[in-house]
Amino acid sequence: MPDFSIPGVNSKYKTDELIRGLVEAERIPLKRMEDSISSYKTQAQTWREMNQNLGRFRDSSRALFGFQNPFRERRAFSADESVLTATATREAVEGKTGLLVKHIAESDKFLSKPLNLDFSVPEGKYGFRVGEQEVHFNFRGGKLSSFIQTLNNRGEGLVQAQVVRNTMNSQIFMIESLKTGSDYPLSFLDDSAAFAENIGLVERDMEGSRRVSLDQSSVKPWAKPLNATPVRDNILKLTPGGEVSVPISPLKINTNTVLELEVKVTSRKGEIPPPPAPPPGPSIPEAPLLSFQDITIQGGSSKVILPEWTPPEGPKVVDDFTMMFAGIDGVSVPLPELSDTSDFVKLTIPLSDYGREISALYFRNANTHRDLEVRGIHVYDPAARGDFIPANPVSTARDAQIVMNGVPIVRSSNTITDLLPGVTINLEKAGTSPVELTIEPDREKIKDALIQFVGYYNQLVANINILTRTDENIIQEITYLSPEEQERAREKLGLFNGDQTLLQMRGTFQNIMMNPYPTSAGEEMALLAQAGISTNSRAGGANYDITKLRGYLEIDENKLDETLKSNLGAVQELFGNDTDGDLIPDSGVAVAVDNYIRPMVQTGGIIPLKLNTIDSQISQTNRRIENYNRYLENFEKNLKRKYGVMEGALGSLEKSSQSVENFNRSSGTNR
């Protein structure tokens, strides 16, 4: 079989290898262009990361002087968190307040007597009321667990029940209101009343209560005669020196009995006349002039020696806040002292500590400059529910009672939001003494924001150092980098060596951190170092730490804590200060950082322009690569065509040579 070859594929002249070699040699510029694309992409990605780092650093700086800056954050601190806790918003006012928690708000929570495990709830219509809201449902009779499930489903958010296995052979039914306060008692409606009495939740109230109507007939003299008209419009008013007794139909006192009334104590100290001034003394006319011929003589002034002035004793001022008494077991017992008020204040006074039976109330105003007003007198058991009282109450609906700076306060909830502006107070339990509630700046949040600011600054400086220097020790000095991050940092080491933008950026930031700024503390707080934030570089002497010369910031936490405690306002001004009174911060470290970074990262800024330039270079290089690939393709085709022609000519020559050789061989044979 004759030999044959395909040029550029399996040529016996190995032209395919020759073509590949020539094409590879021609491909070298393409490789350079592809490498430049990779370099451009690395540069673009690096600048994007730099843009992100600058953005984070700028955000952390703006957070230190903007409207939401942490210097305006407030923290509420309770001296006894077992009694009360509190949270504060930025609107809270700094200061200290004493709060005495006399009672916390509670809801009705009642227990039944022990019930058999097979106890069955009878069929009926059941209803429950909490305050003004009601829930009703029909129950066809059955197990206590089924009744509880139905009640909880219908009474969601209003009332709930559960069963407790108190012994191996009995269970206790518990029901509770889900709302606290005296305005939300739990009442039993429809067949619930009989059911509650049957299982021992409630029992008949045989004592009742006493609501006193204040009028001329219900008010009697005490030790002194009555004022002319001590009662008007159901309000008893006692001017200085007045006193009255208010008889009450005798009422037995149990463990829950309270006296409820509203009082108003108005001070009239401004009406007390000032002490008299000393008398002016006698009026003596001037001595006459004496004239003789041309001589006139002025007589001397008369003098009167007055006795030493002894001012008379002013009216005696009496302050006596023991103004209420109760007739209990035949004896007048003083009730808690009152205080000056701006309006009527409701008081709830437990009577169980005073005796067994109340029969009268007494009011005495021994003050010389106060008026006492009383209304709404009610003696009752707050646990009573109509004709019933709870037989086994765990708690009964009652309001929270606290005293703030001597002022009694009543709320229906243990979460109080309207007492101090911007402060939410949570009552936990009653206390025996006032708890000091302190509203102060949230220095921990401020410190965290400053630490974040310094952290982003150091991260930015570290990235600039890596990109502009070739010393690998820079990477080793950054201890927080993971092995993977260290490897990526090595790939970028010296990537922008000598780049003036980055070198200028690092120098500007270092100047910003070292420059002085005006504050209200003057020279005592004009530098970051005075607040405990500095480079801490010590270049003097033979032994120095070169890492201190990289431009990184360090925080002396003890010094920072002390400065935030003693000079917080100046620290705030150090980072952002309004020096021209236009309510816009125009000076400070954070303001300077924001002003410098803004033109770097904003649309059309320095870094976006760099990215646009790199993107253009990538696009241009991609077009060159595309064109060069077409050139290589044509180049290879031309080589194959040329070498194919050459191989064809060589093949023809070989055939001609073979023919001549064959002819010569045949001619020699014929001879």
Q: What value does the mean pLDDT take over residues 258-274?
A: 82
Provide CB contacts within 8 A for 315, sequence distance 6+. Answer: 272, 273, 368
Question: Which pLDDT does position 315 carry in this prediction?
Answer: 66
Same domain? For 509 and 529 the reply is yes
Same domain? For 459 and 577 the reply is yes
Establish if 79 belongs to a structural domain.
Answer: no
Same domain? For 431 and 455 the reply is no
pLDDT of 562 above 80: yes
The mean of the pLDDT values for the chain is 87
Residue 104 near residue 430, CB atoms below 8 Å: yes
Q: Residue 68: what residue type?
A: Q
Establish if 656 belongs to a structural domain.
Answer: no
Q: What value does the mean pLDDT take over residues 637-656?
A: 78
What pLDDT, in 10s, does the model give residues 5-14? Answer: 555 455 566 7
Same domain? For 339 and 375 the reply is yes
How far CA 75 is from CA of 273, 302, 360, 560, in Å, comes to: 46, 73, 48, 18
Same domain? For 409 and 455 the reply is no
pLDDT of 1 above 50: no
Same domain? For 119 and 185 the reply is yes
Same domain? For 449 and 508 the reply is yes
As for how many domains the chain has, the answer is 3
With 0-12 / 13-18 / 19 or more C-beta atoms within 10 angstroms meaning exposed / middle / buried, residue 617 is middle
426 vs 656, more confident: 426
221 vs 18, more confident: 221
Establish if 659 belongs to a structural domain.
Answer: no
Establish if 378 belongs to a structural domain.
Answer: yes
Q: Tell me phi and psi for residue 273, to 5 degrees.
A: -70, 145
Closest CA to 84 of 441, 434, 440: 434
Same domain? For 423 and 473 the reply is no
Q: What value does the mean pLDDT take over residues 213-234?
A: 84
pTM of the model: 0.67
Query: What span, in angstroms and rounded, lies between the C-alpha atoms of 584 and 595?
Result: 13
Query: What span, in angstroms and rounded, lies between the C-alpha atoms of 342 and 621?
Result: 83
pLDDT of 660 above 80: no
Establish if 492 belongs to a structural domain.
Answer: yes
The total of other beta-carbon atoms located within 10 Å of residue 122's CB is 14
Q: Indicate the residue among 440, 455, 484 that finishes a domain.
A: 440
Look at the chain and count its residues. 671
Q: What value does the mean pLDDT take over residues 201-228?
A: 82
Residue 382 near residue 256, CB atoms below 8 Å: yes
The total of other beta-carbon atoms located within 10 Å of residue 132's CB is 7
Q: Indicate the residue among 440, 458, 486 that finishes a domain.
A: 440
Same domain? For 434 and 343 the reply is yes
352 vs 415, more confident: 415
Same domain? For 266 and 350 the reply is yes
Q: Residue 237: what residue type?
A: K
> Of 67-76, 392-401, 638-647, where does mean pLDDT reach its minimum?
638-647
Burial track 634-658 (b if 16+ CB lie within 10 A, e otherwise): ebbeebbeebbeebeeebeeeeeee
CATH at 349: 2.60.120
Q: What value does the mean pLDDT take over residues 22-28?
A: 83
Same domain? For 158 and 196 the reply is yes
Same domain? For 258 and 344 the reply is yes
Domain span at residue 448? 38-69+444-591
Question: Which pLDDT does position 298 carry in this prediction?
Answer: 66
Establish if 620 belongs to a structural domain.
Answer: no
Establish if 651 belongs to a structural domain.
Answer: no
Establish if 529 belongs to a structural domain.
Answer: yes
* Band of residue 391 on the pLDDT scale cut at 50, 70, 90: confident
Q: Indicate the residue among 204, 226, 250 that finishes a domain.
A: 204
